[in-house]
Amino acid sequence: MSFLHPWLLVGAAVLAVPLWLHLRARTGAVTLFPALRFLEDQPRPRARGFRVRDALLLALRLLALLLAVAAFARPAGRGVLVTESRVHVLDNTFSQQAADGFETDRRQLLQELAAEGAGVQSAVVELTGRPRVVAGFGETREEAGARVRALTPSHQRGSYLEALRLAGSLLDQSLGARRVVRVHGDQQQNQWTEHEGSPPFLTGATVELSRVPAVAERPNLSLGETETRYFFLGDATYVDLAVPLHHRGPARSVTAVLNVNGRTVLRQQLALQPPSGTVTLQGQWRADPSQWLSGELLLEDARDALPADDRGYFCLPPVREGRVALLARSPYLRAALDPSVMKVRWAAEVLDPAGAARLLQADERALADVLVVESDYAQAQAVRDLVFRHLNNGRGVVLVLGRATPLLRPFLAELGLTVTGPAVAGPESFRAIATDHPIFRPFAGGALGDLTAARVLRHLPLRAPAATPLVYGDAGDPLLLEAAGTRGRLLAFAFGLDREGSDLPLTPAFVPFVDLLLQHARAGTAALTSALPGALVTHHVEDGPRPREVVLRQGGRVEARAAVDANGDARLTVPDRPGFHTIGYDDGTEPKGMIAVNPSPKESDLRYEARPAALSAWVVPARPEQDARAAVAVAIDDGRLPWLLLLAAAVFLAAESGALLARRAAA
């Protein structure tokens, strides 16, 4: 046995104290007295002599002190030569729930941990949304095994790259001459290819895959990210829903069921075309705009490898009246945004350049959700500045570019839009429309009108390499673009919404089109209604009395709490399981928000990679002659042993005290 702090054994010198006291007690105190001859009849004092009980007491005292000294010196187990340091990465992402992948890999990991020799240092990393160290090199095999057994299957999306980075940082602090990373996972293909281009970061280590995928892919049906939005027909409010259904495998049909607020809205059998593909499920139904909407879409009889992704959740907050700041002369825009038309949905404020200047100085909360600006108004510097203020504050901006002046071109260039020539006379129709875009998808049913019937009479030729064209004209010019690179959403018309620019305002589709356009532009400021499992989300408390904390509940159970900061934000970690969660304030039961938690659709892509190319990109192979490290001998510190020694010392001291008391009582 060795000691971690051998220098503390010097404390054994304290054993001399009871020894000296013991010897001194045997002789007793002696007084010098000259007239001793007159006591010659008195007996000579004998040395106390050896008495067994004294020896036992001395032995108990010495042993107790010795044990205490040894405890402080931290005895360690037999020193061992560490030849290998090994980090086990256990894939605990959602895809591992297919074919019991997680349980299989966990069993394998536990077997390997139990079989590892004393010369192997082991650590375990769990791969989830945020890879973490489950057991470090300092933990014993038993502790590591217990922690691995305590893990539960996760619904999160994880990155092999992040997990291997974490493993590499652990190995940098390890002692073994050989360094190994063992990956226990399903080797999902998109997990390897997602960051395949990352530069090498793992040097001097070997990456081993614990198992080869049994198959290259597994059949699976899964629901993608659900998109929902309101649209209005007259006074009626409808919800438009679109969700992609991904299928892979031999399945030829599946039944989709839509439940909204506890009521089945739709049940439909869908035909599937093997071997794989994506079908967009779309539905529209009338809804109460004043209530939270919570819906569930599920696939019945899917019979696939991962049943947990056959269900998707979504929620939609009550219609919240948005604020529009209108810097436009178009009577059609003003009419479309009239309170009598857009009541409950939009409150428009018509501004002029002076009003724009006033808004520049106002508090951020005074800014509208969406700013609509015609090109003529953009001549004023205050208006241009207001556009940037909105975008920088995450607000939406819609530019209606009927004319381009020399003053306007630099402004547009700053927004990533380039006018390449003079205005082009039309008429042009909406030749190509991004029908899967949230603005246009609700039109697919035909109830909202036909946007293709609109004519553009005059438009500006725009080029925007970083923007996404949503509508093309007949000549191939983009007529409506969504710019990228700004914090708020920027949509730009290449034509005016007046009689000279287009007859779109005269079509029945114009009002719902404006509504959907503004909804999309405002979406950047909308409240959070969806999240990935285990994600960290921020809930912003709207204006009004600020609560102390935000509480996340599922059913009646509290899942998470977070304090509200000075900005009105609260950060919560969403639970690691799909479903609905309500957001409340303090101890109130009234829901202030809802979050639908769904696994990442990427995890449903059950294709596997036996020999991932990413490893050759991430790992710099070990060079035996240059990277060889001397094996390090390390004493095993059994943290329990010092406490056992101290306990034993206390027992011996108690026994000694008891013996002394017994002797005194007998005396």
Partner 1 sequence: MEGFLAGLHGSPFHGPSVEFKEYRDYRPGDDPRHLDWRLYARSDRLCIRRFEQETNLRGYLLVDTSASMAYRGARARESKLECAKTVALAFGWALLRQNDAVGVLAQGPPEPGPRLDGRPPRREPRLLKPSQKPHQAGQLLRALADLEAVGGSLLPDLLARAFAAAARRSLLVVVSDFLEPAPAIQQALERARFDGHECLCLQVLDADELDFPFTGAHVFEDPETGERRRFVGEEARERYRERLERFLREYRDLWNRLQVRHVLIRTDEEPGAALARGLSSRR
- Residue ranges binding partner 1 (CB under 8 A): 28-45
Secondary structure of 319-364 in HEC code, one letter for each residue:
CCCEEEEEECCCHHHHHHCCHHHHCCCEEEEECCHHHHHHHHHCCH
The least distance separating partner 1 from the CB of residue 37, rounded to whole angstroms, comes to 7
Does residue 659 sit in helix, strand or coil? helix
Residue count of the chain, please give it. 667
Q: How far apart are CA 475 and CA 653, in angstroms?
A: 99
Q: How far is the CB of 21 from partner 1 (least distance, A)?
A: 18
Q: Is 178 exposed, middle or buried (0-12, 13-18, 19+ CB in 10 A)?
A: buried
294 touches 319 (CB < 8 A): no
Query: How many other CB atoms are there within 10 angstroms of residue 54's CB atom?
Result: 15
Minimum CB separation from partner 1 for residue 39, in Å?
A: 4
- Nearest residue (CB) to partner 1, 38 versus 50: 38
Minimal distance in Å, beta carbon 35 to partner 1? Answer: 4
For 424, the token pair is: 């082009």
Q: Are 551 and 585 in contact (CB under 8 A)?
A: yes
Q: Which is nearer to partner 1, 32 or 115 (CB)?
A: 32
Rank residues 44 and 78 by Cβ distance to partner 1 and give the closer one: 44
For the bound state, the minimum distance from the C-beta of residue 664 to partner 1, rounded and expressed in Å, comes to 17
Residues 451, 456: Cα–Cα separation, whole Å: 11
Residue 329 sits at φ, ψ, to 5 deg, of: -95, -15
7 vs 33, which CB is nearer to partner 1?
33
Angle formed at CA 211 by CA 206 and CA 212, multiple of 5 degrees: 105
Give 40 or 235: the residue with its C-beta nearer to partner 1.
40
CA neighbor of 152 nearest in space, from 459, 505, 609, 533: 533
Considering the complex, state which of residue 32 and residue 630 has its C-beta at the smaller distance from partner 1. Answer: 32
Q: Considering the complex, what minimum distance in angstroms separates the CB of residue 667 from partner 1?
A: 14
CB 660 → partner 1: shortest distance, Å? 20
Single out the residue of 116, 134, 128, 131 nearest to residue 180, CA to CA: 116
Residue number, 34 or 234, with CB nearest to partner 1 = 34
Instruction: State the virtual CA torsion across 143, 148, 152, 158 in degrees, nearest 10.
Output: 130
What are the b/e assignments for 231-262, b being 16+ CB within 10 Å?
bbbeeebbbbbbbbbbbbbebeebebebebee
Smallest distance, Å, CB 5 to partner 1? Answer: 45
Nearer to partner 1, 43 or 544 (CB): 43
Q: How far is the CB of 73 from partner 1 (least distance, A)?
A: 42
Q: Which is nearer to partner 1, 24 or 286 (CB)?
A: 24
CB contact burial 372-390 (16+ within 10 A = b; e otherwise): bbbbbbbebebbbebbbbb
What is the smallest separation between the CB atom of 47 and partner 1, expressed in angstroms? 11
What minimum distance in Å lies between the beta carbon of 46 and partner 1? 8
Q: Which is nearer to partner 1, 46 or 263 (CB)?
A: 46
Rounded Cα distance, 542 and 569, in Å: 9
Query: Which DSSP string do the residues of 201-247 spell out, in sequence order?
Result: -EES-EEEES---SSSB--EEEE---EEEEEEETTEEEEEEEEEEEE
The identity of residue 416, as a single letter, is: G
Question: In this complex, which beta carbon is closest to partner 1, that of residue 42 or of residue 361?
Answer: 42
Q: Which helix (H) or strand (E) is 194 found in, with range?
A: none
Q: How far is the CB of 29 from partner 1 (least distance, A)?
A: 7
Question: What is the spatial distance between Cα 639 and Cα 545, in angstroms, rounded to a whole number?
Answer: 52
Which string of DSSP letters, residue by residue, matches 81-148?
A: EE-EEEEEEEE-SGGGGGGGHHHHHHHHHHHHHHH--TTEEEEEEEESSS-EEEE-TTS-HHHHHHHH
Compute the least distance from the CB of residue 13 to partner 1, in Å: 31
Instruction: Kindly tell me which of 32 and 271 has the beta carbon lying closer to partner 1.
Output: 32
Q: How far is the CB of 26 from partner 1 (least distance, A)?
A: 12
Cβ proximity to partner 1: between 13 and 35 the closer is: 35
Q: Report yes or no: 489 and 521 within 8 Å, Cβ to Cβ.
A: yes
Distances (CA, A) of 619 to 120, 168, 533, 612: 21, 10, 30, 12
Joined tokens for residue 399: 């530019």
Of 22 and 437, nearer to partner 1 (C-beta) is 22
